[in-house]
Amino acid sequence: MSEPSPCTTCGACCATYRVSFYWAEAEPLPATLTRPLGRWYACMAGTEQPRPRCEALAGDIGGSVACTVYEQRPSPCRELQPGEDKCQRARRRHGLPPLGIEVGLDLSIDGGGPGDPPTDPLPAPMPNAVPLPVVAAEGPSDPPPLAH
């Protein structure tokens, strides 16, 4: 049986970046969960805030989490892989340990990226996950974009 995704006990990237995408990607999502962003783009509601947190994220960061629109999640969410730089920065911001040892990724400095990112972010929640402590981080006035 494969290892559970580290995303099921994390969610940090969903509460760090502005998750923006071409407006057409918003169409399958509930209108209440997206916000227009200029003429051509939209973003996940909540991620445009100074302290971003996607309104589609259920659970506690660092505890048991789930994306409530997993099948419809936009491309930035599909593309972000556990262990990559944006993942690690998001985890650090929320006081979570870096990925690597536990999931066997190569985290050598100098550009060493994940060896073989195993899974998409945020599949179904792990019911017996033990919540980890959450350290709130100061958000910038405008969250950095996850894409664009």
Q: Which of 37, 42, 43, 67 binds ligand SF4 (CB under 6 A)?
A: 67
Q: Near ligand SF4 by CB under 6 A, which window of 35-43, 85-93, 105-113, 128-136?
A: 85-93
Distances (CA, A) of 81 to 41, 44, 63, 108, 120: 22, 18, 19, 16, 6
Q: How many residues bind ligand SF4 (CB under 6 A)?
A: 24
End-to-end Cα separation, the chain, in angstroms: 36
Structure tokens at 18: 């502005």
Contact 62, 95 (CB under 8 A): yes
Should residue 6 be labelled a site residue for ligand SF4 when binding is judged by CB under 6 A? yes
For ligand SF4, what does the binding mask look like between residues 109 and 148, x meaning CB under 6 A?
A: ------------xx--------------------------
Degrees, nearest 5: CA angle 104-109-111: 95
Q: Which of 26, 42, 43, 69 binds ligand SF4 (CB under 6 A)?
A: 69
Specify the pairing of strand 34-37 against strand 20-22.
unpaired
Interface residues toward ligand SF4, by CB under 6 A: 6-7, 10-14, 19, 44, 54, 56-57, 67, 69, 73, 77, 80, 82, 87, 90-91, 99, 121-122
